[in-house]
Amino acid sequence: MARLAQTHGLTDVQQEILSTVRDFVDKEIIPVATELEHRDEYPQEIVDGLKELGVFGLMIPEEYGGLGESLLTYALCVEEIARGWMSVSGIINTHFIVAYMLKQHGTQEQKEYFLPRMAAGETRGAFSMSEPALGSDVSAITSKAVKDGDEYVLNGQKMWLTNGGTSNLVAVLVRSDEGHPEGTAPHKSMTTFLVEKEPGFGEVRPGLTIPGKIDKMGYKGVDTTELIMDGLRIPANRVLGGVTGRGFYQMMDGVEVGRVNVAARGCGVAQRAFELGVSYAQQRHTFGKPIAQHQAIQFKLAEMATKVEAAHAMMVNAARKKDSGERNDLEAGMAKYLASEYCKEVVEDAFRIHGGYGFSKEYEIERLYREAPMLLIGEGTAEIQKMIIGRRLLEEYRFQG
Ligand SMILES: Cc1cc2nc3c(=O)[nH]c(=O)nc-3n(C[C@H](O)[C@H](O)[C@H](O)COP(=O)(O)OP(=O)(O)OC[C@H]3O[C@@H](n4cnc5c(N)ncnc54)[C@H](O)[C@@H]3O)c2cc1C
C-alpha cells in the first residue's frame, strides 16, 4: 500500500533529503521521544544530529553556507520531524523564522554576520512578539525602544518565547516612536531588534533577563520563557533591515512562512496518531475479533486517513505557492487552520481507539493528546486564521455591482 501523505513531483534531491530525515526520525527520535518528553528534557543529542544533517540551514542560501532549499522541502522535513516529536520541530521553527526574516529583510552586513552562523546551528534563533497582555493583537505591543546616541534602550516584558533559554539570537518586536510622530498607525511604529545574548536563564546580557521555563501541559523538552528588558542597550546596526518602523511587516512575513510550518507540524502529528491508531486497532480484540474489524472503528480510520491526506495536500499547496513567489497568506491561513483542527480530531480518534490504555503514559498517544492543542494556538489561533481568510476572500470576490 502507498503510505499516506505522499508528495508528487519532488526532485531527486528533495526525495533524498526527506528519506534521510525520515530515517533519522525513525531511528533517533521516535524511540526516545516519549521518555524525554515525560522528563521535560531538552533533546540535545537529537539537536546535534539535526545540525549535522544540515537541517538548521535548510532554507538559508548556499552563499551563506546553507542548503538553499525551498519552503516545500523545509515543510516536508518539519512534517517528518513532528511525526517523531512535535517539540523537536518547535526547536527548529523559531530558528527558521528568524533566518527567513534575515534573508528577506536583513542588511547585507546582518546577512553576512548571522546567516552562516545560523546555517551551522551555532547561532540559534527565537522570535518574540507576544506580551503578557497580548498575543493575537500584535498592534497593542507596549515594549518600547528609545534612541540614545548610536544605541536604542529597550524596556518591557515579553511572553511565550519558544527557545527563549536555548537561543542566542532573539528577534524582538517593540514599539519605537522615534521618527514616527504620535498618531502614527501602530503597525508603522514598530521595529524588530536583533538581540544577541548568552543561552541560559537569569541575566543573559546586561538589561536582559530570561526568568525560567514556563511549565506547560505538553510541548515539553523545548523551553518556552518570558523575556524582561530593563534598560537593554542595542546598537542601531541591530535594527533588522537598518530602518525603524518596518518591524510589524517583517514579523508578519515571518509568521506567514511560520504558518505553513505549523500546518506541517499538524500533518506530522496527525500521521503519527493515525499510525498508532491503525496499528492498535489490529491488535486489540473485543467480541471475538480485532477491533479494526468492527465497522465503527474502520469508519474512524477512514475519517482519520482522509483528514491526514487533505491537510497534507493543503500544506503542500501553500508551500508551493510561496515558493513560486506569489502571496500565500490565504493558502497558509487555510492550511494552518485545517491542519491544526484535523490534527486535534485525528489524535482524539486515535486516543479513543486505544480505549483506557490511551490514558496511560505507557502509550505514545497520551503524549500526542497533550501536544495537539498547542497547534491550535501557535502562529495565530483558529479565529485569527479565519479573520485572515475572510478578509482575503472579500478582496478576491469583491462585489462589482
Ligand atoms: C507553547 C507556546 C509557545 C509560543 N511561542 C511563541 C513565540 O515563540 N513567540 C511569540 O511571539 N509568541 C509565542 N506564543 C504566543 C502565541 O502566539 C499566542 O498565545 C497566540 O497568538 C494567542 O494569543 P493569546 O494567548 O494572547 O490569546 P488572545 O489573543 O488573548 O486570545 C484569546 C482568545 O480570544 C480569541 N480572539 C482574540 N481576538 C479575537 C478577535 N478579534 N475575534 C475573535 N476571537 C478573538 C482568540 O482566538 C483566543 O481564542 C506561544 C504560545 C504558546 C502557548
> How far away, in angstroms, is 136 Cα from ligand 1 center?
5
Grid cell locating 375:
497547534
Residues in a beta bridge with 205? 208
Task: For ligand 1, atom 23, name the residue with the nearest CA.
Answer: 135
Domain residue spans of the chain: 12-119, 125-245, 249-396
User: Which of the residues in the chain have pLDDT under 70?
Assistant: 1-2, 179-182
pLDDT of residue 2: 59
Grid cell locating 349:
480518534
pLDDT of residue 190: 95
Does the domain at 249-396 match CATH 1.20.140.10? Answer given as yes
- 226 as an active site residue: the answer is no
Of residues 299, 296, 258, the one with CA closest to residue 385: 258
Q: Which amino acid is at 164?
A: G
- Which is the closest atom of ligand 1 to the Cα of 164? 8
Q: Which residue has the cell 521595529?
A: 191
pLDDT of residue 1: 43
Task: For ligand 1, atom 25, name the residue with the nearest CA.
Answer: 135
Superfamily the domain 12-119 falls into: Acyl-CoA dehydrogenase/oxidase, N-terminal domain (1.10.540.10)
Task: For ligand 1, atom 48, name the residue with the nearest CA.
Answer: 381
pLDDT of residue 36: 97
Q: What are phi and psi of 148, to 5 degrees?
A: -145, 95
Q: What are phi and psi of 250, to 5 degrees?
A: -60, -45
Kindly provide the b/e burial profile for residues 272-292, where b requires at least 16 CB atoms within 10 angstroms of the residue's own CB: bbbbbbbebbeeeeeeeeebb
> How far away, in angstroms, is 84 Cα from ligand 1 center?
25
The structure's pTM equals: 0.96
- What is the rounded CA–CA span in Å between residue 195 and residue 172? 7
Task: For ligand 1, atom 44, name the residue with the nearest CA.
Answer: 383
Q: Which of 381, 387, 389 should be mutated for ligand 1, with most atoms under 8 A from CB?
A: 381
- Which is the closest atom of ligand 1 to the Cα of 158? 11
Catalytic residue among 178, 379, 395, 396: 379
What does the DSSP assignment read for 137-170?
Answer: -GGG---EEEEETTEEEEEEEEEEEETTTT-SEE
Indicate the burial class of 104 (C-beta count within 10 angstroms; 0-12, 13-18, 19 or more): middle
> How far away, in angstroms, is 249 Cα from ligand 1 center?
18
The CATH classification number of 125-245 equals 2.40.110.10
> How far away, in angstroms, is 134 Cα from ligand 1 center?
7
What does the DSSP assignment read for 170-201?
Answer: EEEEEE--TTS-TT--GGGSEEEEEEE--SSS
* Cβ proximity of 59 and 258 under 8 Å: no
